[in-house]
Structure 1
Amino acid sequence: MARAFASQGDTAEKNVSFSQIGEGLYAFTAEGDPNSGVIVGDDSVMIVEAQATPRLARKVIECVRSVTDKPISHLVMTHYHAVRVLGASAYGAPQVIMSETARAMVAERGQEDWDSEFARFPRLFQGHEEIPGLTWPTTTFHGRMSVYLGKRRIDLMQPGRAHTAGDAVVYVPDQNVMFTGDIVEYKSACYCGDGHFHDWPATIEAIRAWDLDAIAPGRGDALVGRDMVNAALDSTTDFVRSTYRPAAKVALGGGSLKDAYDAVRAECDPKFGDYAIYEHCLPFNVARAYDEARDIDTPRIWTAERDAAMWEQLQA
């Protein structure tokens, strides 16, 4: 039986958790759906990741209001993907921040990504009629910048290419806590369709060097304590390498994309088959790994049409 395309068969509402991971720091998680982060400063609040729609963003705002009545002043997007950014209008934040590279990717492929993800995640895009358009930052940075919420300093940094070329992390030094976006996942498949397999493990090691006390990952439970942090870093690296190696071997040996898909399944199914969105991600991941092995450094733009053609080819 053919599998439902991407997450079209995932229709069940997820249970939301709102976990404190440091003083004034919270992770909004929902059983493998995209996470958001909350940083409460002296006089205002920063949100990390907007969610896919204003409807979903309001769930985050409800959680924020359960812990503080301070205004939301900053919204940070760790990368450009539609499920992360299109809920931005709900927050009314005067400062919307992305890396320069992430903004460039919105300009280059933002609409195509929106159309693509809309077809992949119908449940996440319920209420999409409220989305006013693409999300554009008011502020961009290259490499590193700091934002002050009163005396609380938040560092925005680009540790390297991984999930996308424009990935950023958000670090709160007074608590030694980081919001990593989709560079790090926990018991959820990494989406690698726009990723950089060769760079990703080194980027994870750059994050590990901070010796963090807690991480809010892109998907999955909040990671509190160094044992849990390091376990997630290890498993994310293993996922990336276990996806790339068999696909690259096939590609470099002249095999087909379907051959690469079968080889990756043989390697990854036993280890990651029960991870959230595993079946969703796998075909996109294999297609990107196959391309990167053939020296296509810039991920090709996914469109709704390319998605469907690739899925049909690999699921046949």
Structure 2
Amino acid sequence: MAKAFASQGDMTDKQISFTEVGRDLYAFTAEGDPNSGVIIGDDSVMVVEAQATPRLAQKVIDCIRQVTDKPITHLALTHYHAVRVLGASAYGAGQILMSDAARGMVAERGQEDWDSEFQRFPRLFQGHESIPGLTWPTTSFTGRMSVFLGNRRVDLMQLGRAHTAGDIVIHVPDENVMFTGDIVEYHSACYCGDGYFADWGGTLDAIKSYGVDAIAPGRGDALMGQDMVNTAIENTRDFVHSTYRPAARVAARGGTLKDAWDAVRAECDPKFADYAIYEHCLPFNVARAYDEARGIAHPRIWTAERDMQMWDDLQG
């Protein structure tokens, strides 16, 4: 292999921010690393996204303990990716919530995804030896469910496929704040390697229809106010479309994956090269866009071996 994945050399710790995005609602962000969310109810706490390891989850818990001593009873996971779920054991939450589709993906490809992500991005797995195993939900659902933290209602919803087949968002109606997982990013590349390009825009439209006052995105800064929210949604839409369109043109003329890589770079580099994890995401994004354009409806499973073969093909 000519060179390593960009993320394998990314060993710099990021500055953590803990931002109140609504009354008793917080976004844990870290300069493009995976975000988490915190929802404080009358007598308990829900965390959104677990982080990749119990050690990294403890950083979220430390922030929570700065603002409340209420017990963490619920953990909501927007999708199945290892960097989002494998730190779950640190919270001691009695309820772990996930869509039925996401649970199915844990069963189908959870171990392969863990092995793949660990190889690609070792810094995000600090303390990996403390991970007890795959994270499984205690409760899963299709469509929509509500959880009450005392009087505070929290709505968990499937608004459409985007980043994965099992994506959910979490909406807190009393403050009109949403936690979107990786469906929406801010000044950070979207990871599209397990995504659905044709569906992503419609899912963004569904999020936009709520007119929320703040969003805690999957990566990047908390989005405060409808102007910032809408800007981030439209930037995410542009990123997804700018990745798919050139790959689809290459596929239509019978070009190679390397041709698609060159075409996507030509369109995306001028607009997105300074986004967090851009170089990390790009090869996986191109591979998935090229597959979808050639009629492969569902993302193929990434394995550590497939990662390396794909990267060799692109470098060659």
TM-score by length of 1: 0.99
Q: Tell me the equivalent position of 1:304.
A: 304
Contact preservation (8 Å) 2:51, 2:86: yes
Identity %: 77
What is the deviation of 1:252? 1.2
The alpha carbon displacement at 1:132 in A equals: 0.2
Confirm whether residue 56 of structure 1 aligns to residue 49 of structure 2: no
The equivalent residue for 1:258 is 258
Matched, 1:84 2:79: no
2:252 and 2:43 mapped to 1: Cα distance?
55
Query: Which residue is equivalent to 2:269?
Result: 269
Q: How many residues align?
A: 316
Runs of 4+ in 1 over 4 A off after TM superposition: none
The residue that corresponds to 2:146 in the other structure is 146
- CA shift for structure 1 position 3: 4.6
Q: For 1:145-191, what per-residue CA distance to the aligned partner results, in whole angstroms no more than 9, with x for missing partners?
A: 00000000000000000000000000000000000000000000000
Letter in 2 for 1:67: V
Q: 1 CA distance for matches of 2:293 and 2:301? A: 17
Question: In the alignment, which residue of structure 2 is the partner of 1:284?
Answer: 284
For residues 1-80 of structure 1, what are the structure 2 equivalents within 5 Å? Answer: 2-80=2-80
Contact 2:2 2:312 in 1 (8 A): no
SS at match of 1:198: helix
CA distance in structure 1 between the partners assigned to 2:305 and 2:69 by the alignment:
44
Q: CA deviation at 1:315?
A: 2.3
Secondary structure, aligned partner of 1:175: coil
| 1:178-211 CA-partner distances (Å, limit 9, x unpaired) | 0000000000000000000000001000000000
The match for 1:200 is 200
2:216 matched to which residue of 1?
216
Q: Quick one: distance in 2 between partners of 1:150 and 1:19?
A: 23
RMSD: 0.9
Describe the SS at the equivalent of 1:7: helix
Which consecutive residues of structure 1, in runs of 5 or more, have no partner in the other structure?
none
Distance 1:312 1:13 in 2: 28
Q: Distance in 2 between matches of 1:34 and 1:315?
A: 27
Deviation track 1:92-142 (CA, whole Å, cap 9, x = no partner) reads 000000000000000000000000000011111121000000000000010
Mapped partners of 2:314, 2:294: distance in 1: 19
Show the counterpart of 1:315: 315
Matches within 5 A, 1:229-268: 229-268=229-268
Deviation at 1:6, TM superposition (A): 4.0
State the TM-score, normalizing by the size of structure 2: 0.99
Pairwise mapping of residues 96-245 of structure 1 onto structure 2 (< 5 A)? 96-245=96-245
